[in-house]
Structure formats: C-alpha cells, structure tokens
Amino acid sequence: MTPTPRLRALPGPDQPPTDPTPDQHESSKGSSTVEQVGRRLRLTSAASITLRPTHWLWTDRIPAGSIVLGPGREGIGKSLFCAWLTAQVTNGTLDGLHTGRARAVVYAATEDSWERTIAGRLLAAGADMNRVFRVDVTHPGADGARTVPLSLPRDCTDLAVEMGTHDVALLVLDPLISAVDSRINVNQEELRGALEPLATLADNTGAAIFGLAHFNKASGTDVLSRVTGSRAFAAVARAGIAFARDPDADDGSCVISQVKNNLGPLDLPSLRYRVEPVTLDTPEGPAQWGRLVMLGETDRHVEAIMRQAEQHSGDGEDATDLADIDAWLASYLIDRYGRAPAADVLKQGGALGFSKAQLYRSKKRLKISSGKGDGWAWTLPDIPPP
C-alpha cells in the first residue's frame, strides 16, 4: 500500500526557486555579523532510522518514489513510450509494485497539443483515459486568472497533494527540462534547487517520476553526459532509460537500455520496440497516431549503437548528424504508413537542411527499399499498410 504523502515545506509560488541565504543584518555596534534565523542543527542517531526497501513501478527498471530520466534523440518514439507506460500503469498491467491494480497517472507535456497529439497517443496505447490527468496551473494576474505551465519547484507542494488525492503512481514530464522554473538556469548547478524538491515529492508520495530528456550536440558514447542541460539532471535521477534507433535492424526498430540504476541491477537486457501507425475516429474524421509496440529483449545496447555511429562517421557526418537524419527519415515514413514518394522525401528533407547524399545514405542504413508504381517511392520495412 502506498504510504500517505508526508509533505515537506517547499518553495511557494512567490518564493525564489533557490534556497534563501541566511538573513544578514548589522549589529548595533556596526560590525557585520550573520545570524541564521529559524535554523537549528540536530544530530540523529543512525540506530533510530527505520530501513525501507526499494519498490519498483516497473520491476528493476523504474523505482517507485524516485526520479527516472529518459534521454534520447528526437523522433524515435520517446513520447510514445510515455504513452505506453501510462497505459500499463492505468490498466494495472505493468510488471511491478502495482501489477493487477490500476493506478492513476499525471501527464505534464509542453511540446505537443493534447487535442491533436497526446490524447490520441494515449488512446492508441490503450490507456484508461479516466485515470490520466493533465496538469494545469492557474495564476492570478491583473486581467484575472490565467493558465500557465507547471513550474518546478514552486508547484511541488500542490502537486504532491493532488497526486495523493487521485491515487497517482506515475508523474510523466515530457520533457523534464520544460517543467523547470524559467528563472532557473538549467545549464548550471543551481538546477539542483528545482530537482531536489522534485525528488522529495517522489519520495513522499511513493510515485515514480519519469522525465524525458533530449541529447545535446556533443559527441561521445556516454549517454548521460549527452543530456541537454546541467549534469544535475543525471545526478539527481536514481535511474535512467535511454532510447536509440538501431541502424542494423531490418524493421526500423529502436532499442531501450538501462543506462543508470542506483537502486537496482544495471545489467538488464535491453528491449526492442517498433512504432506503428494507428487510425482513430475523431469528430472531424479519421486521424492517425503512432503506437509503440514492444518486441521483446535484444542483445543490442544504446551505448553500443552510439559507439557504432561514432565509428562510422567518417563520411563528413558526425554521430549527431547520423542520428538526426535517421530519426527524421524513419519518423517521416512511419507517419505515412511506412511509404512516401521519393521526391517528397528529398524535398522535405532538403527543407530541413539534409542533402540528397545524406538522405540516400540514411536510406541505406535504415534498409529502406524503393520501387516504382505511380512513381518512385521509399518504403520502410515491415510497416503494416493502412
């Protein structure tokens, strides 16, 4: 049973995001002194501390009561993984602490529309929509209350209360960096001032917090060092699950690997997944969304894929270029049921700055076939037709 949230004092809406410095004032004699008002130091015997086990939202992969980071390139289905994870939790089908018991999920997303993107992804994944909650924050202003995005750490206390009220087992932040207070420099160590209260929220509520992260433009195969923003993202997270497209896969599939696990085993088998198109009815007619399909375990690892990309970047493209082109091309074709006219691919890719030579090399890496019907078209392998 999830314990009742033990809420701690966290920064409020009108407080600065970082810890305040002790009050400073002058003594009556004019000498400068520092007095720490309200602060008390206390020593606690380790013998009085009650031991607690680690519980797992997803066995050995996502610890409950902790922050988990999900880094990867754009266009490889990270957000679809969040939809898949949400569906598992809301249906009680995820192997772990809540197996057989459906729990609620709070989903905070800033980069996509709920009406056009997120809700469709959740429905395509099979989520229980009555157990998924969008988070909105109202902020008073001169013209009345207005809706603003979630801001951490200022909204942590209210968020913890709502999560306890609605039996929430998972908080999704897509992406994590967008939920951080805009006054905090996410590239500096001060980022800890936002993430540590978030870690406290996870610990107090027993919910797992899964935050997506993007890769920066740096090279190297250390996954966590490639996360955009301060190293604090990777340091505060207790676990990390990374995503990468496998260029050697015949079906255009991707790989999920455990790249950090402070609370459990790190040598877990990677998982392979594929993104498939799903058509849903809407009041304005049928529309298409993507759905993540798990294909089972694989001996491929995200770090090995990144290392391979580094080794094969001698044609004038670095590893980041290769990943960007491959991710875009596969995503472009998947969104069109795996097939698109070659002229359209080259035109759209060119508009993004990819040369024809780069796109043809990406076509070869992804094992995309080409054929002539009404015109030349590129087809991604093993994508079901509409």
Q: Could you tell me if 302 and 316 lie in one domain?
A: no
What would the two tokens of residue 103 be? 């729990």
Q: Could you tell me if 138 and 255 lie in one domain?
A: yes
How sure is the predictor about 7, in pLDDT bands with cuts at 50, 70 and 90? Answer: very low
Q: Could you tell me if 246 and 348 lie in one domain?
A: no
Q: Could you tell me if 271 and 328 lie in one domain?
A: no
Q: How many domains does the chain have?
A: 2
Q: What is the pLDDT of residue 4?
A: 47
Is 384 contained in some domain?
no
Q: What is the pLDDT of residue 41?
A: 93
Query: Smallest Cα–Cα separation from 294: which of 330, 314, 269, 312?
Result: 269
Is 357 contained in some domain?
yes
How sure is the predictor about 82, in pLDDT bands with cuts at 50, 70 and 90? Answer: very high
The percentage of residues in the chain with a pLDDT greater than 90, rounded to a whole number, is 49
Peptide bond into 153 cis (omega under 30): yes
CATH number, domain of 299, equals 3.40.50.300
35 Cβ contact list (under 8 Å, min separation 6): 22, 23, 24, 25
CATH number, domain of 352, equals 1.10.10
CA dist., res. 18 & res. 191, Å (int): 9
- Read off the pTM: 0.74
Q: Could you tell me if 288 and 317 lie in one domain?
A: no
Q: Is the pLDDT of residue 296 over 60?
A: yes
Q: What is the pLDDT of residue 13?
A: 45
Ramachandran category for residue 51: left, alpha or beta (phi over 0 → left; psi -120 to 50 → alpha): beta
Q: What is the pLDDT of residue 367?
A: 86
298 Cβ contact list (under 8 Å, min separation 6): 246, 255, 269, 270, 271, 272
20 alpha carbon, distance to own chain's centre:
30
Q: Could you tell me if 295 and 330 lie in one domain?
A: no
Q: 117: number of CA atoms within 13 Å, CB side?
A: 12
Q: Could you tell me if 275 and 336 lie in one domain?
A: no
Query: Smallest Cα–Cα separation from 67: which of 164, 181, 173?
Result: 173
Q: Could you tell me if 292 and 357 lie in one domain?
A: no
Query: Smallest Cα–Cα separation from 302: which of 232, 250, 249?
Result: 249
CB neighbours of residue 25 within 10 Å: 9
Q: Could you tell me if 301 and 320 lie in one domain?
A: no
Q: Could you tell me if 325 and 241 lie in one domain?
A: no
**End-to-end C-alpha distance for the chain, whole angstroms:** 44
Q: Could you tell me if 95 and 146 lie in one domain?
A: yes
Q: What is the pLDDT of residue 248?
A: 84
Q: Is the pLDDT of residue 16 over 60?
A: no
CB neighbours of residue 311 within 10 Å: 10
SS3 371: strand
91: containing domain: 56-306
Write out pLDDT tens, residues 85-142. 999 999 999 999 999 999 999 999 988 899 999 999 999 999 999 999 999 898 887 7
Q: What is the pLDDT of residue 317?
A: 55
Write out pLDDT tens, residues 313-364. 554 455 556 767 888 888 888 877 788 899 888 888 777 767 888 888 888 8
The percentage of residues in the chain with a pLDDT greater than 70, rounded to a whole number, is 83
Q: Could you tell me if 334 and 187 lie in one domain?
A: no
Query: Smallest Cα–Cα separation from 360: which of 374, 378, 373, 376?
Result: 378
Is 15 contained in some domain?
no
